[in-house]
Amino acid sequence: MCGIAGVMTCDGEQPPAFMLSRMQKALAPRGPDGFGQMVRGGCALLHARLAIVDLETGDQPLFGISNDPIGGTALIGNGEIYNNSELRRAMSTAPFRTRSDCEPPVFIYDTFGTGFADRLRGMYALAVHDPLQNRLVLARDPFGIKPLYYAQTNEMFAFASEPQVLLAAGFGTRTPLPGKVAELLQLKFTTGAETIFPGIVRVLPGETLVIEQGRIINRHRSTALPAGRPRSISHQEALRQIEDVLAGSVAAHLQSDVPYGLFLSGGVDSAALLALMTRLTGNRIQALTCGWAGASGVDETVEARRLADVMGADCERVEMGEADFWNLAPQIAACIDDPTADAAVLPSWMLGRAARADGLKVTLCGEGGDELFGGYARYRKASAPLRWFVRKPRSGGVFGHDIPGLSGWRDGIARAEAAAGALSGVQAAQFVDCQEWLPNDLLIKLDRTLMVHGVEGRTPFLDPLVAEFAFSLPDQEKVGLNIGKKLLRSWLASVFPESGAWARKKGFKPPVGGWIAQRGEALARQIAAQPGVAAVVPPDVVMACIAKAVGNAQPAWSLLFFALWHSTQVMGIDPMGSIGDVLDEAARG
């Protein structure tokens, strides 16, 4: 897990040194353990390292078969390649020089060319410089677990792990695109390749880009989900297979040369990971869970600690209170440069900080369990015959029709729905989530809130072998009329009877509505006066949303998050102050 960035000029001239310096500085928080830089002709590669595997010899760039820093293939990467051992065995005669899991990909590129990423199992954002072809190649994993962005000008092409790295070097602009602001407010995230910053573009999940002379000349994309409608399989056979599939994925995700832990929510997904980690390692797992001080939000820490006790794990309760909210929310919003107004960024940030304080550089997380095994109510509504009697998911938006002028906010979701093709109703809803919601909300949240603390989050449910198995399950193995994740729950109940596998999903919701309501009208006036909000949302709408925060927290949090994000990311206000300090400074301009 690291940060990567780079530049390729169109005329072959060396990229400006000041630009590379700015990019390296902005990239630094993602990799506190070391820095690498290579400049060859018109191409520069930058790397900030968070050392997880091969602590001694895994510095980057890594070089290919020729091992020639001047004329050989070079690679920098962010992520983990879980089939590293298998790849090395398949290339037994290759002259590997490190134990880094990112070394096989550069050898695969030298052998097979630009389709190299199709042979990888893992989470990754990779950049390869091929000086013989004068070519730069970028590749991102099919789920989009690891982020990657790019920008193009008439003079050069640049890429980075985060938009703020590109913005720091003068690429793109910080004036938000109105259509993306509309998406953020109504959906809580933005869709597609285009980001909220004009001129900064996402490399799509599973996409490989080929760049020559600073121009994209080719691109192809691999999908995370298997093709075809649900297959026929008995319940007993599905139970047998899920055991093997999940155990194999968790074992792969436990590869590490540094201490690891688990984020334990008390729900089905993290309970399944706890059971498998305990069985596979035989060790006492170190878990962290987050709860709320003096508040009535959904708090599953009692259940999480009960599960840990049953499994013989250690479980630390991380607490977030009202004072933490008012003092830390600006820092949290500022680290989500590609914004998502998901309130789960708050506990994720707290857990990331606690993990780092406990010496954990790797944590396993349950993201993806709902999307692949059918955990959301919208999947139940998408099943026959309900699908013909309910609205499509995300039809109303967070604010409904309360904010005039938010046009086109559902266009990206509609495009994903149209691309779903001839799938079952449940599969189609899963497909849309895996295309947009998962990479552009949940995984951005996980990446930024952990990497800002130098912690790597791993997601065993988001594995190609798990996806191949789970997505093609019959709909009835995923959802019933009143419950989701039926097969996963059935398996968990058999291997971990104390888990409460059939309990209803509670979610992981901090009590932001109650916290916001504590400052009510005064906070509403501050939010309404923030320039980014004032340009889009009428003051009376702001006042109404804050007044209803206790009963309907999301609109109030979306407005507050956008106000803080705009203040720090667009206006450049220091996020180290309190919510009130940041909003007051923003109002002063």
Orientation of helix 345-357 relative to helix 443-451, angle to 10°: 40
Q: Do domains 2-221 and 235-383+424-499 have the same CATH topology?
A: no
Q: What is the DSSP secondary-structure string of 325-354? A: HHHHHHHHHHH-SS----TTHHHHHHHHHH
| Tens digit of each residue's pLDDT (9 = 90 or more) over 199-236 | 999 999 999 999 999 999 999 999 999 998 999 999 99
Residue 309: CB atoms within 10 A of its CB come to: 12
pLDDT for res 507: 65
pLDDT for res 316: 97
| Tens digit of each residue's pLDDT (9 = 90 or more) over 62-110 | 999 988 888 899 999 999 999 999 999 999 989 999 999 999 999 999 9
Q: Which two tokens stand for residue 557?
A: 């949090």
Burial class for 172, CB neighbours closer than 10 Å (0-12, 13-18, 19+)? buried
Q: Does domain 235-383+424-499 have CATH number 3.40.50.620?
A: yes
Please list, in sequence order, all residues whose beta carbon lies within 8 angstroms of the beta carbon of residue 501, skipping any fewer than 6 positions away: 268, 271, 489, 490, 492, 493
Could you state, in order of their start, the residue ranges of all structural domains in the chain? 2-221, 235-383+424-499, 512-588
For residue 271, which of 316, 304, 230 has the smallest C-alpha distance?
304
d(CA 325, CA 339): 18
Amino acid at 534: A
d(CA 228, CA 315): 41
pLDDT digit string (tens) for the chain, length 589 residues: 589 999 999 999 999 999 999 999 999 999 888 889 999 999 999 999 877 776 676 789 999 998 888 889 999 999 999 999 999 999 998 999 999 999 999 999 999 999 999 999 999 999 999 999 999 999 999 999 999 999 999 999 999 999 999 999 999 999 999 999 999 999 999 999 999 999 999 999 999 999 999 999 999 999 999 998 999 999 999 999 999 999 999 999 999 888 999 999 989 999 999 999 999 999 999 999 999 997 666 788 999 999 999 999 999 999 999 999 999 999 999 999 999 999 999 999 999 999 999 999 999 999 999 999 999 999 999 986 666 667 888 999 999 998 988 999 999 999 999 999 889 999 999 999 999 999 999 999 999 999 999 999 999 999 999 999 999 999 999 999 889 999 999 999 999 999 999 988 766 689 999 999 999 999 999 999 999 999 999 999 999 999 999 999 999 999 999 999 999 999 999 999 999 999 999 999 8
pLDDT for res 297: 60
d(CA 368, CA 433): 10
Q: Which two tokens stand for residue 351?
A: 């857990």
d(CA 194, CA 190): 8
Q: How far, in Å, are 312, 341, 536, 558, 585 from residue 531 at the CA level?
A: 51, 18, 9, 15, 11
CATH number of the 2-221 domain: 3.60.20.10
The conformation of residue 15, written as its DSSP 8-state character, comes to P
pLDDT for res 383: 86
Q: Which two tokens stand for residue 545?
A: 């949303």
pLDDT for res 508: 67
Do residues 531 and 571 make contact, with C-beta atoms less than 8 angstroms apart? yes
pLDDT for res 125: 98
For residue 567, which of 586, 580, 548 has the smallest C-alpha distance?
586
The residues facing 314 across adjacent strands are: 286
Q: How far, in Å, are 205, 449, 531, 548 from residue 340 at the CA level?
A: 17, 11, 19, 21
